[in-house]
Structure 1
Amino acid sequence: MRSSLNQAFTLIEPGPVVLVTTHDGGKDNIMTISWTMVMDFKPVFAITTGAWNHSFAALRKHRECVIAIPTVDLLDQVVGIGTCSGADTDKFSRFGLTPVPAMQVRPPLIKECVANIECQVIDIIERHDIVVLEGVAAYLDTDRKEQRRLHAVGDGTFIVDGRRLDRRKMMATKLPAGV
């Protein structure tokens, strides 16, 4: 069965949906990003965004952000954040999210998210609007009851994490120490 080429991205898009907080020198903002990539164990990540997002200018100028990882119970806030602009909306207030001061960057963590990663921008690949980030601090709320992450298919639907399958012993020679 063939799939339409213009929908091919939906076959591999389902990475985790994240919320990215920025600070533009005056106020905090949040944007929803579904195009993410782990680039290295160090940790280095990439997100794809560009001038169409209000937060992009803050990423370029201040070169820092927080990647906040929401869970399934935040789906409506995640979608709402992605469908309005920080240029005219206080997204923390509108979507009932709590900013928490970060330790190493100015943009805040999001209390309601299961995990937050403070990041520095280490490169911007202009041709593809790829922002390369290096994690400088990470937080995981292991006490949070809901742990299931969201994955955008790219067509307005989402997939939710299921059960975890453990193959650590089989992969032990490929995993970095401490993972």
Structure 2
Amino acid sequence: MTSPFVQYIASQACNNAWANHRLYHACLQLTRADLQATRTSFFPTIQLTLNHILTCDWFYLDALERELTGQAPHDNCYVFFEQDEPFDDCASLHAAQAAADKRLIAHCRQLTDADLARPVTILRDTPQIDTRSRLLAHLFQHQNHHRGQVHAMLAGTPVAPPQLDEFFCTGEANLRAPDFAELGWTEEEIWQMR
């Protein structure tokens, strides 16, 4: 039986993918000019912010997956940041983000309480060692932080920012049903995974 904490971590990974799905649904409607226009935010464009979310996902997923499978930490973890913008169009970014989101869900669904407590090492200039639960919490927060910036930047475009806070409440299942259908998910799959 899955513990409530493991279930929560897995639901966070699904929420992450769902929010990205909704955000990209809006961003895919932008022109290239709107995607690349300079705006007020931490990263100056929607495209650069989306690329940053993705490259950070690659960075953390690599460390998490390596530890879980018994591999040594990546000896050049910064390889994921060699390009600030590995993708210069929204369709390619969306496909790569969706693939990363699927990896994160698969990773979280296989975890146990013991896995969440294990240390994960990232060989930064000063090695970073955190438990898997802390790294996952950081990754989810990082995504929320930068998705919020894209959401705010969308307000300055012709495309309305999507609602991103209807994932967890039972009474709002109907609001996410179309997205779940597009993602091939069911409520039962998310909330009772094992």
| TM-score, L = length of structure 2 | 0.25
Greater strand share, structure number = 1
Greater helix share, structure number = 2
Q: Which has the higher contact order (CA 8 A, sep 6+)?
A: 2
